[in-house]
Structure 1
């Protein structure tokens, strides 16, 4: 009994740790991205709903697996963790496909043996199996509450996911305006990209991106009267009509510069801005195989 309580306690701790890590990840993202500026409140709520109900689905299925393992003499903690770590359905299906049959205790030595066994493999005691014992093995779905909870959680997860996709695809609740002082969010994709911001230097490389895709980095102006923004940008592949636009945005002030074909590094004065944070953005309109290095000095 004590061993069982310890196993259950370990399972509860594992589930709690998973939930804590998810909320911690959301919290870190919230702090790093300055919250969810530029998004309607519904989008992060729907996304959070997807994560929470996905975790609930995993938790319910893990609980069912834990109880089922106990009936079959398998390792419940191991399989519950497998279901939690893997996606809910995949982990659950793996377990169902390889779970052992339900066993019973030998009346002589207590060793667990198959319901269909004629002799105990441990002590050799003859087992008197009635036909009902061997054929009518309990096949009902036990611990149905966990299955029902998992199905309901999965349904709610799909509802939140559908709502998130529809809302994001509509675009009305997402800020995509490069001149906005709020954070810009993209509904497109960018490929083969590397981005770093070390010691005030923003380095960005990408292969290609969907039309109008915006990469953004917040920088800080220390002395607007004397400092300048330096940008060394090279676009190796420029199809007809393609452009790369550099945006500088601070409050109501927004300035743009076409940096598609720079013959030399750009030096842009910042005297029309104020000291403090400034949004530095690159709006990608068809250019490919681009590398850039941007800083304020």
Structure 2
């Protein structure tokens, strides 16, 4: 009894720990990204539910495989790990292709033999318990609650995934550089450095997906006497590539092409109000770019 409790203890500790890690991951991402502004709340909820149901699906099917392995004399720990890690679809497929035949113990020599065998391959004794063999074969589908729970979890997982894709393809993700909400990028950027210290935003990147936007919130203290200072150099500019600087505050949005600046840009801010302003760089194919942007007093 104690051995059984000790074997189940990792499950009781591990499953809640995984759920806590998932929730912690979402919480940290929420704080790092200033919340989910610009992203429909339905998307993170659906994604979280998808991960939870995917975990449950793998856990239920892995539990069934564990019981099935014990019944067939296979290594339950190995196959349970394979099914859980390889995801339920591929893991179960591999298991069903490789699992051993259902066997019983020879009453004479103790060798594991097939339930369908007419005699023992080791000692040659005839096997006459046909009725018992047939009954055991009929009971081959065991632990049906685990299978049912796995199928239900899988259906819910697919529903959440479908809802996530449909929502993301619709209006769930904000990619408008003129929006006052946070921008969510669907691409990637290869950065060397990105920092903001003492009101100076320094960004250096090698390349990025077309349309990728990096942004930094800055503060206007006196719009009538301050200006935006931008020192930007694009070393590699393929044909048709651009780098656009966006200044967004509420309903006010201004864009400036800063692809080929011959000298630092000094842009007046008197059209804006005092307070927070979104400063964005929309990357459209330029590479090997170094930028330094700040809000300064007019000379």
**Structure 2: tracts of 5 or more residues without a match:** none
Q: Classify the secondary structure of the residue corresponding to 2:279.
A: strand
Aligned residue for 2:160? 160
Count, aligned residues: 284
Tell me the distance in 2 between the aligned counterparts of 1:273 and 1:238: 36
**Structure 1: tracts of 5 or more residues without a match:** none
* Pairwise CA distance, 1:259: 0.7
Q: Classify the secondary structure of the residue corresponding to 1:138.
A: helix
Tell me the distance in 1 between the aligned counterparts of 2:180 and 2:43: 19
TM-score (norm. length: structure 2): 0.77
Residues 173 and 10 of structure 1: is their aligned pair in 2 closer, same or farther, counting only changes over 3 Å? Answer: closer
Aligned residue for 2:260? 261
Tell me the distance in 1 between the aligned counterparts of 2:126 and 2:227: 92
Rg: which structure is higher? 2
Q: Does the 8 Å CA contact 1:178/1:214 hold for their aligned counterparts?
A: no
Q: Name whichever of 214-223 and 76-85 sits farther off.
A: 214-223
* Pairwise CA distance, 1:64: 1.0
Alignment of 1:139-288 (within 5 A): 140-170=140-170, 172-187=171-186, 189-190=187-188, 193-194=190-191, 196-198=193-195, 200=197, 201-207=201-207, 209-210=209-210, 213-221=211-219, 229-234=229-234, 236-240=236-240, 242-266=241-265, 268=267, 274=274, 278-285=277-284, 287-288=285-286
CA-to-partner distance for each residue in 1:45-103, whole Å, 9 max, x for gaps?
Answer: 22222222212211211111122122233343443333333322122222333333344
* Pairwise CA distance, 1:10: 2.0
Aligned Cα root-mean-square deviation (Å): 3.5
CA-to-partner distance for each residue in 1:120-144, whole Å, 9 max, x for gaps?
Answer: 7xxxx77552263897462632112
CA-to-partner distance for each residue in 1:239-282, whole Å, 9 max, x for gaps?
Answer: 24x4321113344554332111112344556685646x543322
Tell me the distance in 1 between the aligned counterparts of 2:193 and 2:88: 35
Tell me the distance in 1 between the aligned counterparts of 2:50 and 2:144: 23
Q: Does 1:46 align with 2:46?
A: yes
